[in-house]
Chain A
Amino acid sequence: DQQVKQNSPSLSVQEGRISILNCDYTNSMFDYFLWYKKYPAEGPTFLISISSIKDKNEDGRFTVFLNKSAKHLSLHIVPSQPGDSAVYFCAASDNAGNMLTFGGGTRLMVKP
């Protein structure tokens, strides 16, 4: 049973527009959520995180929103750039931090 799900395997967006990537989770014990970006032949790169005590965290062009009651989070990228084209993984952890549970990933393609 997947505890972290990314229901859109791919997303295509025009350069300069907003990219919205979604993630749902089922485990109420998850307390901390992260987004990673992965280029081919590289390891995942940490992008941004959010604790369950917040509903929004912003870092430059990247904003993560958390809706605890809906067990849903989203990553907004504004404005999207061609260099943002990659696979984005949502991940979740309990507050012990022993392990991250990853979603299946969403491939983002930003068209010039």
Chain B
Amino acid sequence: DTEVTQTPKHLVMGMTNKKSLKCEQHMGHRAMYWYKQKAKKPPELMFVYSYEKLSINESVPSRFSPECPNSSLLNLHLHALQPEDSALYLCASRSTLDGITLHFGNGTRLTVT
């Protein structure tokens, strides 16, 4: 099982809404990531959790709030987003075999209106 599952697949929210993106993996990986990808651009790192602790925050605005309830789950809480935050949000977990390779989910396509 090399699957990272993200829900929902699509999300439309207003600028005053609060919503959450969810990510789950059952591969026993201990590092999990949030990336943001805009059209025709590479994925940009947002957050890294290692052993359920936040280890990297790439200066992401506080309207994005990550949470790692346990080693299999990763959430991204969204509040007061801007239209320019519309993007594909990708979750990934890091392989324990080589400690390098990331396995990505299919992403959540977020539209902020």
**In the complex, what distance in Å separates the CA atom of A103 from the CA atom of B6?**
24
Given contact pairs A44-B43, A103-B42, A34 touches B106 in the complex (Cβ within 8 A):
no
Instruction: Say whether B100 faces chain A, with CB atoms less than 8 Å apart.
Output: yes
Q: Is the interface of B mostly helix, strand, loop or mixed?
A: strand
Instruction: Say whether B73 faces chain A, with CB atoms less than 8 Å apart.
Output: no
Evaluate contact between B107 and A100: CB separation under 8 angstroms.
no
Q: How far is the CB of A88 from chain B (nearest CB, A)?
A: 11
Given contact pairs A44-B90, A104-B41, A49 touches B56 in the complex (Cβ within 8 A):
no
**In the complex, what distance in Å separates the CA atom of A40 from the CA atom of B10?**
14
Across-interface contacts of A59 in B (CB, < 8 A)? none
In this complex, the interface size class of chain A, counting residues with CB under 8 Å from chain B, is 20 to 34
Q: Is the interface of A mostly helix, strand, loop or mixed?
A: loop
Q: How far is the CB of A98 from chain B (nearest CB, A)?
A: 6
Evaluate contact between B99 and A97: CB separation under 8 angstroms.
yes
Chain A, range 8-65, C-beta contacts under 8 Å to B: 32, 34, 36, 41-46, 49
**In the complex, what distance in Å separates the CA atom of A105 from the CA atom of B106?**
17
Could you name 27 residue pairs across A and B whose Cβ atoms are closer than 8 Å?
A32-B98, A34-B101, A36-B104, A41-B106, A41-B109, A43-B92, A43-B105, A43-B106, A44-B43, A44-B90, A45-B104, A46-B101, A89-B42, A89-B43, A93-B100, A97-B94, A97-B100, A98-B50, A98-B55, A98-B56, A99-B33, A99-B45, A100-B45, A100-B100, A100-B102, A103-B42, A104-B41
A residues apposed to B, CB below 8 Å: 32, 34, 36, 41-46, 49, 89, 93, 97-100, 102-105
